[in-house]
Structure 1
Amino acid sequence: MFYRFFCAVLLPILFLITTIEVNAHEIQKERISGADRFEVAVNVSKKGWPNSSETIVLTNNIAYADALSAAPLAYKLNSPILLTQPNKLTLATKKEIARLHPKKVIIVGGTGSISNSAANEVKNMGIGIERVSGKDRFEVAYKISKKLSNKGKAIIAYGMNFPDALAIAPYAAQEETPIFLTLKDKLPDDTKKGLREKNVNHTIIVGGEGSVGKGVETALPSPVRIGGKNRFEVASNIIRKLNLPTENAFLSTGMTFADALTGSVLAAKQNAPILLTLPDRLPSESKEVIYDKNINNFTVLGGTGSVGDKVLDIPHRWEITKPSGTALQGFASATSVFPGDKLNLYIHSVEPYKIQVFRMGYYEGEGAKLVDTISNLQPKKQSFAADPSTMKANWSPAVSLKIKDSWQSGVYLGKLTNSSQKESYITFVVKDKLPQASIGVMIATNTYQAYNNWGGKSLYGYNSTNSDAAVNLSFDRPYNNGRGSGEFFAYEYNMIRWMEKQGYEMTYFTDTDIDNGLLSNLNSKLLLIPGHAEYWTKAMRDSIQYETKNRMNLAVFNANIAYWQVRLQQKDRLMIGYKYRANEDPYMKTTPLEVTTKFRDNPVNRPEKEVLGLMYSGIPEQKQQPLVISNPAHWLYNGTGLKKGDKIPGVVGGEVDSYDGQMKGVEVVAASPVSLYGEDSMSHVIWYNKPSGGKTFAVGTFYWNWFLDSFGHESFAKPNKTIEKITTNSLIKLLKE
């Protein structure tokens, strides 16, 4: 369903007409099903051969081996493939043979596959019989090849399983290319003979080296391999590598062969490839090629027991696979907005593009929900000459986005996609007007900006031009990191996915919102900091410190928090941070408590441990080290079965915090040895009972959230039940007290 809206923006902004597409990736599907595989084959036949067929190919319904190479022959003869039991035709198959009035039925396989009694049933219908058989599947494939034209090309597939051969069957059929079968490590004699007789000078290997080994590959003429880590990826890669048309695609279960076999010839007739799926869900490999090729029309082979009804309920793809670089970038006019607000999006694009707006979360593992699409946006080139004093992008708005009242509080990504399918993000947060959720989630947008070097500068020398860090940074510029999302995917997204999966009620806001006093109006019991919130303003520190004394509890699932003080000015669009040059900060003389230095240093003198119970201590020399249990009797470990000295590998690293023994009420529950700058030290996990009554749980490491949900960090971590249990125990206590 499409909605049109008109957005007129006065000089110097051009008049825009945009289209809202609520269901921009609407899937159209037709199902060819039946009570069993025999009926599915019959209904495929009725679909592709509505009147008659001079020839029918008949195969055994359970012996896939003989049938693997049959599709090219069936296609050449414009014949459907029907199935039979070994000793008797099913009633459905017999009726379909009668309906088609063929002159000949070609039986694929010897009498062990289809007996003479079944063949005689066909003869008794007045139909001629031809049998293609052999001593084994390899000879059957060879004999089928003899009936195909000689074009110098062949396909080699593993003969001891079915999916790879059937996935390429529509292509092989259209090309009249024989499908030869092989063992993993040995090329059978009949296959060798077929390659010689067909004068094959080019071979396509279907499947990875686990199916067709390297030794077989070296024995083939001019081999090209289409592999993959599993059958689903092989089928997807066939579409990619052979650049197959994708206006329509067939979808079949990848767990049995019958539907893909009988459907392969119809797929070839319709110039469509075959994709494979699990019965209850679409594998990521199949899903990705559907996204990449924008496949919208499907013919589903088999009943719901083979391919479930919800398999093709495909959400829009929010992940970026083709980063745009500088050809497509953008930023929002505010870090956060309320429903009903308008948000200006400043976008540079050299090609037409669209915007898909996603709310990020768990969503049954999909990770996001599409809430809006704006299509048919025309190129708008912007200047990349940043203001040298602030790195501000002096861009004009491209789109005015209305935040709908129905949009739930959360982190939103506007995914930009241009006509070359290159992609980038714009990130913003939607707040609650009357937040009632028990958990408030702080998104660390100051830290996003501190590390952002768009225009050439960040607050760090390592990624700034001439290694000269900036002092003033504008929020009016794209994020160079996270493909436009800033630091969101580093740690925050993992925590949000896990929290929403568990069903916690949360309301979201940014550093800017806390700077403007949002916490005082928040009814939440818990403030949750999931990300690397290294940069706070004085107003943020004042508010968080005050509110978490006794009115709210605090959960910190990261490290190096509240380390640097910064200021926000120019209606919160400019962040100031002198850092190591704090003596140059003009506030040193006028307003010393707002000097942009470390909170723990003069003249601010507010060490972060006053709020957190621990403080930043450094960057470990080793990337990942184990979390070491030091106090297993603590209630945080209830249900874990951990003992003192037990280790959870990989949790500690990136940057770490430590408890210095000075804050009363701190309980150390894990003490993990680390080496910091050549010296032995500790990374701590603590529970802090504040004298005024507030509670704080702090994990003291960057990587904790990856062990709750490892999305995007799978090579470093995987979900850990013990970390999950400790986290759950902490949240129960923090939300109760």
Structure 2
Amino acid sequence: MKKHILLFLVLFCILLWGDNRKVDAAYLKKERLSGKDRFEVAVNVSKKGWSSSDTVFLTNYMAFADALAASPLAFKNNAPILLSRSERLTDTTRNEIVRLGVKHVVIIGGTGSIYPAVASELKAMNISTRRIEGQDRFEVAYNISKELDQKGKAIVTYGLNFSDALAIAPYAAKNGYPILLTHKDQLNESTKKALAEKNIKQTYVIGGEGSVSKAVYNQLPQPSRIGGKNRYEVAANIIRQLELSTEKVYMATGQSFADALTGSVLAAKESSPLLLTYPKSIPSETINIMGDKNITNLTILGGHASVYDQSFTVFHNWEITKSGGNRLQGYTSKTSVKPGELQTFYLKSNKPFELQIFRMGHYDGEGGTLVRSMKGFNAHIQPRSFNTENMDAGWRPTTSFTIPKEWKSGFYLAKITNLDNEQSYMPFVVSNPNPFANVDAAVLISTNTYQAYNNWGGKSMYGYNSANKVPAIKLSFNRPYTAGNGAGEFFAFEYNLVRWLEKQNYNLTYLTDDDVHKGALNTLNAKSLIIAGHDEYWSKEMRDSIEEQTNSKMNIGLFSANVGYWQIRMEKNNRVMVGYKARAFEDPYQKIDPSKVTTTFRSSPVNRPENQVFGMMYHGIPEKTMPLVITNATHWLYKDTGLKNGEKISGVVGGEIDRYDKEIPNVEVIAASPVKLYGKESVSHVIWYQKPQGGKVFATGTFYWNWFLDPYGKKDYANFNQKIEQITINAMNELLK
């Protein structure tokens, strides 16, 4: 790729990052049970879960303490929890009691919480009442527990705060476990009685040692603690440690009690856990569990004042709106990491910053989903010196975390944002944790090519963007990418295809060049290898594996051009890439092992032209973008397109092109598009190739094909084209057989 291609990418980045969209996260399925006040919220929860009910539980809308333990008993009676003022029923609550056909009301709390006048009001409606009360909240919880079945297990949580009790309430209710309350440093006598009388053999302690001390913990029968640094993490850890289903999740503000209390019984009915949030933003602890568990179906309890809709804009905000330049940069310890493995981030920032990690895809057009948020980082200054032989930055690690086991394979961007709202990316791939996985396709991300064009520190493998016009021979992966605000070449060509592939719901796994170099394809049961972008730089190990596996085991979808062109070698645990290129005569492997000399694959002494893998190969850079010209219109790849020989689709052929020169038999040309290469007439081809051993290849022969499948960031150059999509669908259907 030459200077004019680099200029194009720079212009593209300027256009892309100038778009600061603020829209709701459409891929999140959100239902809201709201109302003008907490009474109405409780009624709307009741309407959602109950068409009728003989019984209702009634508690004071302000005095939450008595009601903390009520959810399990309400669930046992299949009864909603409604709210009342101290002195009277609200019209909203009264009307709901009538709608439900209630015959009996259980009042939770003493006459100081709900006055006898309320019971009289209900009696006048021909509704019987009874009261569960006690001298304090601890005794109320004990009295509630007496009406629950013997299950041998109980919840014990801090009695002077509501959040932990409410976060566990759906689980406790669903399982019939009593919620018992304690002081931090002393086990209340009422709770001791409940533990003894209910013959409790096992307890779940909810909250950290700041809520329930070790001294109390050690008095409990067979205790296990679910804690966290705050109420939001406690709620998230309840899901993690109890391995709760997250097909549907309820969310309520963690700043007040009423919405979570009344919603807890409905959540239990639907076997759904409860998460907590700030009113105006979603805590990182809640974001993280949503990402880890792929939570996309939320029921929000409360009105917009309790949980702002605007708080969900964070879930699409992956785009860079203000570049951090060389002031804010970073890189990762691994280009590819499996769930359960450690990823380390190396960052440079002269101001405090935060990290957000997004999985990139389609997501109903949002383009990415937030899976992890990490805040509170101080400025991290890195040394200015670096290894001038291979551009290794040599930075100190900033932070590490273990990739959650629930994370899907995919392309991830860690977005850095500092106090000035300057931003940058660090890319990495999460690969499939199962080396023998069965998938439709493995999507190959061209990380070697990212690095070859990367001139951080002043050197790439190209003269045009290297200091003194002298390219490097060795390049380290331990340095930031300068292109794409740190994302490397991902946005140039690969992202458009990734968006489209994920929109089609194919079963995908993602690989980097490093994964293939280390043999990942050799055990993966993929029907097809999808080369998404300009994967120009391969090691011998990559070429050996891809050639062997795609002869018969898997097919190839080649959605770019100039792929597998340069041979490189990997050193230092695959963190340094070696490529002598035009100086291949200096490569010591000319004598050590000529098959690994870092020249073009087609050149001596390697002598392995790319068409042996793809059926055709790279021929050059067109002088200008040209239309795709249809030939062989009766070919099955054109099914349902209506295209005819000679028809043209503007703008598809450009960047770099591949050509078929009839060296390989069984190659079918389906499009032949005239181009001019270096002043001479030439042609770019789209082909279908059936290999003798059975492998199939679909190759587009151009950089720009993917833009017509999904033109995100390319709308000045391309538009979605239904005919290109149909050809691609036809090809994918065959490649995935």
For the structure 1 residues 543 and 356, does the alpha-carbon distance in structure 2 shift closer, same or farther, using more than 3 Å as the test? same
For the structure 1 residues 323 and 313, does the alpha-carbon distance in structure 2 shift closer, same or farther, using more than 3 Å as the test? closer
Which residue is 1:553 aligned to?
555
Which residue is 2:457 aligned to?
455
Q: How far 1:299 sits from its partner (Å)?
A: 9.4
Q: Distance in 2 between matches of 1:384 and 1:441?
A: 36
Which residue is 1:564 aligned to?
566
For the structure 1 residues 310 and 719, does the alpha-carbon distance in structure 2 shift closer, same or farther, using more than 3 Å as the test? farther
For the structure 1 residues 31 and 452, does the alpha-carbon distance in structure 2 shift closer, same or farther, using more than 3 Å as the test? farther
For the structure 1 residues 709 and 31, does the alpha-carbon distance in structure 2 shift closer, same or farther, using more than 3 Å as the test? farther
Taking the TM superposition and a 5 Å limit, the aligned residue runs for 1:282-361 are 315-361=315-361
Which residue is 2:428 aligned to?
428
For the structure 1 residues 313 and 348, does the alpha-carbon distance in structure 2 shift closer, same or farther, using more than 3 Å as the test? closer
Which residue is 2:678 aligned to?
677
* Amino acid corresponding to residue 566 of structure 2 in structure 1: W
* Amino acid corresponding to residue 711 of structure 2 in structure 1: S
Q: Distance in 1 between matches of 2:407 and 2:311?
A: 26
* Amino acid corresponding to residue 654 of structure 1 in structure 2: G
Which residue is 2:522 aligned to?
520
Q: How far 1:548 sits from its partner (Å)?
A: 0.4
Which residue is 1:501 aligned to?
503
SS at match of 1:525: strand
Which residue is 1:593 aligned to?
595
Which residue is 2:710 aligned to?
709
Which residue is 1:641 aligned to?
642
* Amino acid corresponding to residue 677 of structure 1 in structure 2: Y
SS at match of 2:543: helix
SS at match of 1:555: strand
For the structure 1 residues 589 and 363, does the alpha-carbon distance in structure 2 shift closer, same or farther, using more than 3 Å as the test? same
Q: Percent identity?
A: 53
SS at match of 2:374: strand
For the structure 1 residues 311 and 632, does the alpha-carbon distance in structure 2 shift closer, same or farther, using more than 3 Å as the test? farther
Which residue is 1:658 aligned to?
659
* Amino acid corresponding to residue 518 of structure 2 in structure 1: N
Which residue is 1:384 aligned to?
384
For the structure 1 residues 450 and 28, does the alpha-carbon distance in structure 2 shift closer, same or farther, using more than 3 Å as the test? farther
SS at match of 2:449: helix
* Amino acid corresponding to residue 495 of structure 2 in structure 1: Y
Q: Distance in 2 between matches of 1:27 and 1:669?
A: 48
Q: Distance in 1 between matches of 2:714 and 2:588?
A: 42
* Amino acid corresponding to residue 503 of structure 1 in structure 2: N
* Amino acid corresponding to residue 399 of structure 2 in structure 1: V
* Amino acid corresponding to residue 348 of structure 2 in structure 1: H
1:400-427 per-position Cα deviation (integer Å, ceiling 9, x unaligned): 1220011100011000000000000001
SS at match of 2:439: coil
Q: Does the 8 Å contact 2:690/2:697 carry over to 1?
A: yes
1:692 and 2:693 are equivalent in the alignment:
yes
Which residue is 2:633 aligned to?
632
TM-score, structure 2 length as denominator?
A: 0.58
Q: Distance in 2 between matches of 1:459 and 1:398?
A: 28
Taking the TM superposition and a 5 Å limit, the aligned residue runs for 1:361-440 are 361-434=361-434, 435-440=437-442
Which residue is 2:474 aligned to?
472
Which residue is 1:84 aligned to?
none
Q: Does the 8 Å contact 1:410/1:430 carry over to 2?
A: yes
Q: Does the 8 Å contact 2:481/2:488 carry over to 1?
A: yes
1:24-71 per-position Cα deviation (integer Å, ceiling 9, x unaligned): x999998879xxxxxxxxxxxxxxxxxxxxxxxxxxxxxxxxxxxxxx
Q: How far 1:316 sits from its partner (Å)?
A: 3.8
Q: How far 1:300 sits from its partner (Å)?
A: 7.1
Q: How far 1:662 sits from its partner (Å)?
A: 1.2
SS at match of 2:736: helix
1:515-546 per-position Cα deviation (integer Å, ceiling 9, x unaligned): 11111110011000011000000000000000
Q: Distance in 1 between matches of 2:517 and 2:584?
A: 21
**Structure 1: runs of 5+ lacking an equivalent:** 1-24, 34-297, 302-307
1:533 and 2:515 are equivalent in the alignment:
no
SS at match of 2:461: coil
Q: Distance in 1 between matches of 2:580 and 2:459?
A: 13
Q: Does the 8 Å contact 1:32/1:300 carry over to 2?
A: no
Q: Does the 8 Å contact 1:27/1:312 carry over to 2?
A: no
* Amino acid corresponding to residue 700 of structure 1 in structure 2: G
For the structure 1 residues 314 and 467, does the alpha-carbon distance in structure 2 shift closer, same or farther, using more than 3 Å as the test? closer
Q: Distance in 2 between matches of 1:339 and 1:370?
A: 17
Which residue is 2:18 aligned to?
none
Which residue is 1:732 aligned to?
733
Q: How far 1:315 sits from its partner (Å)?
A: 2.0
SS at match of 1:565: strand
* Amino acid corresponding to residue 356 of structure 1 in structure 2: Q
Q: How far 1:310 sits from its partner (Å)?
A: 10
SS at match of 2:726: helix
Q: How far 1:436 sits from its partner (Å)?
A: 2.2
Q: Distance in 2 between matches of 1:362 and 1:636?
A: 25
Which residue is 2:221 aligned to?
none
For the structure 1 residues 452 and 28, does the alpha-carbon distance in structure 2 shift closer, same or farther, using more than 3 Å as the test? farther
Q: Does the 8 Å contact 1:324/1:422 carry over to 2?
A: yes
* Amino acid corresponding to residue 334 of structure 2 in structure 1: A
Which residue, 587, 601, 604 being the options, matches 1:602?
Answer: 604
Q: Does the 8 Å contact 1:440/1:508 carry over to 2?
A: yes
SS at match of 1:432: coil
Q: Does the 8 Å contact 1:384/1:455 carry over to 2?
A: no
Q: Does the 8 Å contact 2:316/2:367 carry over to 1?
A: no
For the structure 1 residues 649 and 696, does the alpha-carbon distance in structure 2 shift closer, same or farther, using more than 3 Å as the test? same
* Amino acid corresponding to residue 640 of structure 1 in structure 2: T
TM-score, structure 1 length as denominator?
A: 0.58
Q: Distance in 2 between matches of 1:353 and 1:359?
A: 20
1:14-33 per-position Cα deviation (integer Å, ceiling 9, x unaligned): xxxxxxxxxxx999998879
1:719 and 2:715 are equivalent in the alignment:
no
**Structure 2: runs of 5+ lacking an equivalent:** 1-27, 38-301
Taking the TM superposition and a 5 Å limit, the aligned residue runs for 1:76-115 are none
Q: How far 1:314 sits from its partner (Å)?
A: 6.0
Structure 1 ranges of 4+ moved more than 3 A: 25-33, 298-301, 308-314
Q: How far 1:394 sits from its partner (Å)?
A: 1.1
Q: Distance in 2 between matches of 1:411 and 1:29?
A: 35
Q: Distance in 2 between matches of 1:683 and 1:692?
A: 26
For the structure 1 residues 586 and 317, does the alpha-carbon distance in structure 2 shift closer, same or farther, using more than 3 Å as the test? same
Q: Does the 8 Å contact 1:29/1:300 carry over to 2?
A: no
For the structure 1 residues 677 and 32, does the alpha-carbon distance in structure 2 shift closer, same or farther, using more than 3 Å as the test? farther
Q: Distance in 1 between matches of 2:458 and 2:310?
A: 47
* Amino acid corresponding to residue 333 of structure 2 in structure 1: S
SS at match of 1:731: helix
Q: How far 1:383 sits from its partner (Å)?
A: 1.8
For the structure 1 residues 371 and 300, does the alpha-carbon distance in structure 2 shift closer, same or farther, using more than 3 Å as the test? closer
Q: Distance in 2 between matches of 1:735 and 1:593?
A: 33
Q: How far 1:330 sits from its partner (Å)?
A: 0.3
Q: How far 1:319 sits from its partner (Å)?
A: 0.3
Which residue, 467, 479, 486 being the options, matches 1:484?
Answer: 486
* Amino acid corresponding to residue 419 of structure 1 in structure 2: L
Tell me how large the CA RMSD over aligned residues is. Answer: 2.3
For the structure 1 residues 659 and 28, does the alpha-carbon distance in structure 2 shift closer, same or farther, using more than 3 Å as the test? same
For the structure 1 residues 603 and 391, does the alpha-carbon distance in structure 2 shift closer, same or farther, using more than 3 Å as the test? same
Q: How far 1:685 sits from its partner (Å)?
A: 0.2
Q: Distance in 2 between matches of 1:454 and 1:696?
A: 36
Q: How far 1:602 sits from its partner (Å)?
A: 0.5
